[in-house]
């Protein structure tokens, strides 16, 4: 783990980081508020001593209580990956500033997070469905998304068909087909 990276992040972003900086193996993780996202992303991207210029991934997360956006960044200045978690996004109106002003490729990643979680990325010029049909009205990766056969969340509905246990098939004697049951032992 890169302890120098931790010191550089504390020096530049101390007022915007929520909670402690976590380091484990080859990852350094910080948490920020949605309103701080543009400034923090610009700082880690443009600062000469940080230069996290590669956005490897962006993902939405539904914790059940709130939404999050997670950025995975890489820089040649550190052996650590930087994970930035934008915490505290409302589930009722999930909004986060877009990162397309720094990484144009973020447009597609933000579209995926919008399509699966309903997170609106303010500033994304082409925020529309990428996997689901345009008229689809739900967000499949949210914790409140129920499938029609999801009996696990509705008591008394029985076992879901995908979880139904199947025993061995019983084969009857059929001399015409040449099938004969093995004798019971």
pLDDT at 161 over 50: no
Domains of the chain: 3-156 (3.30.460.80)
Span 24-35, average pLDDT: 94
Q: pLDDT tens for residues 75-132?
A: 999 999 999 999 999 999 999 999 999 999 999 999 999 999 999 999 999 999 999 8
Return the pLDDT at 61. 96
Full-model pTM = 0.78
pLDDT at 155 over 90: no
SS (H, E, C) the chain: CCHHHHHHHHHHHCCCCCCCCEEECCEEEEEECHHHHHHHHHHHHHCCCCCCCEEEEEEEEECCCCEEEEEEEECCCCCCEEEEEEEEECCCCCEEECCCCCCCCHHHHHHHHHHHHCCEEECCCCCCCCCCCCCCCCCCCCCCCCCCCCHHHCCCCCCCHHHCCCCCCCCCCECCCCECCCCCC
Q: Sorting pLDDT into bands at 50, 70 and 90, what band is 135?
A: confident
């Amino acid at each position: 783990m890169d302890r120098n990276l931790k010191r550089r992040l504390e020096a530049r972003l101390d007022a915007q980081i929520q909670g402690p900086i976590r380091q484990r193996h080859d990852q350094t993780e910080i948490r920020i508020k949605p309103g701080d996202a543009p400034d923090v992303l610009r700082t880690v991207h443009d600062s000469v001593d940080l230069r996290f210029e590669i956005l490897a991934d962006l993902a939405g997360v539904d914790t059940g209580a709130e939404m999050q956006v997670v950025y995975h960044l890489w820089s040649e200045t550190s052996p650590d990956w930087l994970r930035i978690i934008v915490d505290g996004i409302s589930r009722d109106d999930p909004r986060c500033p877009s990162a397309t002003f720094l990484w144009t490729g973020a447009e597609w990643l933000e579209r995926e997070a919008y399509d699966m979680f309903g997170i609106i990325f303010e500033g994304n010029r082409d925020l529309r469905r990428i996997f689901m049909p345009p008229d689809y009205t739900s967000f499949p990766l949210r914790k409140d998304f129920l499938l029609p056969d999801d009996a696990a969340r509705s008591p008394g509905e029985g076992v879901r068909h995908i979880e139904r246990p199947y025993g061995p098939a019983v084969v009857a004697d059929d001399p015409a087909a040449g099938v004969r049951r093995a004798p019971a032992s």
